[in-house]
Amino acid sequence: LAVFTAQAQAQAYPTRSITMIVPFAAGGPTDVISRIVTGHMAQTLGQTIIIENVVGAGGTTATTRASKAANDGYTLITGHMGTHAASVPLYPKLAYHPEKDFEPVGLLAGTPILILARKDFPPKDLKEFITYVKANESKVNAAHAGVGSVSNVSCELLNSILGVKPIGVPFNGTGPAMNALVGGQVDYMCDQIVNAVPQINGGTIKAYAVATAERNPSLPDVPTTTEAGLPAFQAQAWNAIFAPKGTPADVVAKLNAAIVKALEDEGVRKRLLDLGSVIPAAADRTPAALGTLVKNEVAKWTPVLKPVN
């Protein structure tokens, strides 16, 4: 009977609204990407998807909560390169493991990293930025979204390439960090492109370079790090949906199909592309492909990042 009940439940799923935990503040990249894709998924699934922003500890507070949620498909999380990979080596006491405590559901978007600064930060290009930050390392500060966040990990990578240790200024997400950059309260930041495109195009911040091999079509005037003289700095993050471990396979399959349908929708694609995201190729959209990505990313970051506690 229990087996039949579980099967019937999975067939009927979803019969009520779904909560999507976003581990950072509203208005940041994780939140924006989640809202774009889940807006379409909700139509496919015939149920509301409620975004719940749960902030703290570079996204690990929310991810811990999601790992312990009921594995019935009604609580999900949009995680990323930080929460589901870099956090492993950074937090030795992490209360979850991205591979053991979650079912991968589907990749939403790739997000190139940009080196950004407040509008009136003196350096006018990346070469000047490098010289300036090296000369003023005890005075300059870099905003980020908490230890283990993408902005933190990617700027740590940049800072280690430059051999500098600026003052880090943590926020609950790069939504609020971006506000501080626009307001001139912080000097620079490494952020995922979706957060930055509207501000760069609006002229409220500076972009020195995009850390990918090619320029991004949404920012044709922003040089790559290679063009700007720092080829060693290459960084692209990713955002994806995860369910607590043990969520039934047919529920995961339904959610994945809804993600795939969203990623094929012209309106969704346009919104993601206009914000500079990279839409995953068809082969990268399966739960198994996301599982492999997480495994590879944990293996990639583990030897690079040092524990914080």
Which chain residues interact with ligand MLT by CB under 6 A?
Answer: 24-25, 28-31, 82, 145, 149-151, 173-175, 191-192
Nearer to ligand MLT, 236 or 247 (CB): 236
Question: How do the residues of the chain divide into helix, strand and coil, expressed in percent and rounded to 5?
Answer: 45, 20, 35
- Nearer to ligand MLT by Cβ, of 10 and 205: the residue is 205
Residue 265 CB, shortest distance to ligand MLT, in Å, is 22
What lies within 8 Å, CB to CB, of 3 at 6+ separation is: none
Q: How far is the CB of 24 from ligand MLT (least distance, A)?
A: 3
Beta-sheet strands, E only, within 18-130: 18-22, 49-53, 75-80, 102-118
Residue 30 or 286: the one with the smaller Cβ distance to ligand MLT is 30
Helix axes 249-264, 29-45, angle to 10 degrees: 110
Is the CB of 103 or the CB of 191 nearer to ligand MLT? 191
Angle at CA of residue 162, ends 184 and 80, nearest 5°: 70
Q: Which residues are within 8 A (CB) of 80 and not within 5 positions of it... i.e. 6 or more apart?
A: 30, 59, 150, 237, 238, 239, 240
Residue of this chain nearest to ligand MLT (CB atom): 28
Output 14 or 175, the one with its CB closest to ligand MLT. Answer: 175
For residues 15 and 45, the answer to whether their CB atoms sit within 8 Å is no
Start-to-end Cα distance in the chain: 47
CB of residue 249 to ligand MLT, shortest distance in Å = 29
Minimum CB–partner distance for residue 48 and ligand MLT (Å): 22
CB of 49 vs ligand MLT, minimal distance in Å: 17
Tokens 């000369």 found at: 135
